[in-house]
Amino acid sequence: MRSFWRGGESERGQAAVIIALTMTAMLMVLGLAVDAGQLYVARRTAQEAADAGAYAGAVVLYQGGTAAQARAAAVNDVGRNGFVHGGDGGLTSVVINLPPASGPNVGNSTYIEVLISTEVRTALVPAQSQLNLVSVRGVAGAEPLNNGYAIMALDRGDTLDSMFVGPQGTVYIDGAGILVNSTNGEAADNNGTGNIAVAEPYGTDVAGGTEGEWPNATTGAPQRPDPFAGYPKPSVSGLSLYTSLPAAVGGVITLYPGIYDVAISAAGGTVIRLNSGVYITKRGINGAGNADLQSLAGGVFIFNTLTGYPGATGTCASIKLTGNAASILAPLTTGPYAGLLFYQDPACTAQFVIAGNGTLAASGTIYLPTAQFYMDGSNATLTGSQLVANTVNIQNGNISITFDSGATAQPVLPRLSE
């Protein structure tokens, strides 16, 4: 009997040891699960902070801010999310690289990279193991986006005849479609027959309704945003100011990039040649005197704005290619305004007019966010790549566009990329 009870006590002791070991293992597993959850949440939080910081910096770049301002915005946004370089006892590291130091966008100054490393305080995993170190990376920048419309009438109101084509007007589009944002029942109005052609598979998207014949028309289509909304206005820094035009030499006036506080115009038969670069026009362009505009190698960017620019005061003059003006213009091929030929300040509502026998052969994008593109003339012609205006009115004349996304402006919008 004594031997029997001794055996029972031994078994109870062994069970207690097994239970203790099992409980310890279970507690270890539970602790590791808690630590793993902490690490997961910490990584997710850090990733969101890095993405938010990178996006904040990209927005500043998109708005024309400096690299220093973009870095400051990124640091500030990361800090708002609880990550400060050297913070929490030195356990957190925040590094901002502009341009990125790694990845597919390395060296590209239109992108910003945010790196966050932080140690997570865990219950079981020792800090020396490096298993509690969380490192994340966020990259954002201004990436190109093309919406595939050759003509866009941006007005989003209940506007009658937001795009109007008269019986003597013709429109031919290849490689893209037409967009009319107005919700009016006659937002797109064609008074002719068979005078509008859009090569398939493209057509006409109208938020409202149509009047007359429109090829492959879709009414009630979703309104589209202005693809260039917020496009940065050019800086006046480093540009020369001109208050008069030079005299013609052999019937040619040669202009150089700069700020023109004088109307660009000349008498009949004169050719106005534009050397490559940025032109800020405060008094408009007037081709009524039959002066021809020609851009030279490298192309131009023309920004039509208020007389008080870079302030917000003053008046704004029209772009008029009328009379017998025959203009041939091409956009810049590099830089922030590559592919954007004309950009009219959103503060300006003055028309862009081609009339009489005026013609414009233009590659690139004509962008008039708050103004009307108006055409009226027996030989008024636009041969171009893209027309984006508040409204489009073709009383008489011809538009022919073979859309080429590589030759038009590419809207740069801030977005996460990596």
Same domain, 131 and 231: no
Q: Is residue 186 part of a domain?
A: no
Same domain, 266 and 384: yes
Q: Is residue 114 part of a domain?
A: yes
Same domain, 230 and 140: no
The pLDDT of residue 128 is 44
φ and ψ at residue 353, rounded to 5 degrees: -120, 130
Q: Is residue 327 part of a domain?
A: yes
Out of 144, 169, 196, a domain closes at: 144
DSSP state of 128: G
Is the pTM of the predicted complex or chain greater than 0.75? Answer: no
Q: Is residue 172 part of a domain?
A: no
Same domain, 268 and 382: yes
Among left, alpha and beta (phi > 0; psi -120 to 50; other), residue 244 is beta
The pLDDT of residue 11 is 62
Side chain identity, residue 393: N
For residue range 375-391, list pLDDT tens digits in order: 998 889 999 889 999 99
Number of domains in the chain: 2
Instruction: Give, for all 418 residues of the chain, the pLDDT tens digit.
Output: 454 445 555 566 666 666 666 666 565 555 555 556 666 777 888 899 999 999 999 888 876 688 999 999 999 999 998 888 877 666 788 999 999 999 888 888 888 999 999 887 665 555 444 447 788 899 988 665 556 799 999 999 999 999 999 999 999 999 999 999 999 999 999 999 889 999 999 999 999 999 999 999 999 999 988 888 878 899 999 999 999 999 999 999 999 999 999 999 987 789 999 999 999 999 999 987 778 999 999 999 999 999 999 999 999 999 999 888 889 999 999 888 999 999 999 999 999 999 988 899 999 999 999 999 999 988 899 998 899 999 999 999 999 999 988 889 877 667 777 7
Q: Is residue 362 part of a domain?
A: yes
H-helix or E-strand spanning residue 49: helix 2-62
Same domain, 310 and 410: yes
Task: Note down the domain range covering 107.
Answer: 2-144
Q: Is residue 150 part of a domain?
A: no
Radius of gyration of the chain (CA): 32
Same domain, 404 and 255: yes
Same domain, 131 and 242: no
Same domain, 256 and 121: no
Same domain, 369 and 241: yes
Please give the Cα distance from 57 to 66 (Å, whole number): 10
Q: Is residue 289 part of a domain?
A: yes
Q: Is residue 34 part of a domain?
A: yes
Out of 95, 112, 144, a domain closes at: 144
Out of 116, 144, 172, a domain closes at: 144
The pLDDT of residue 147 is 65
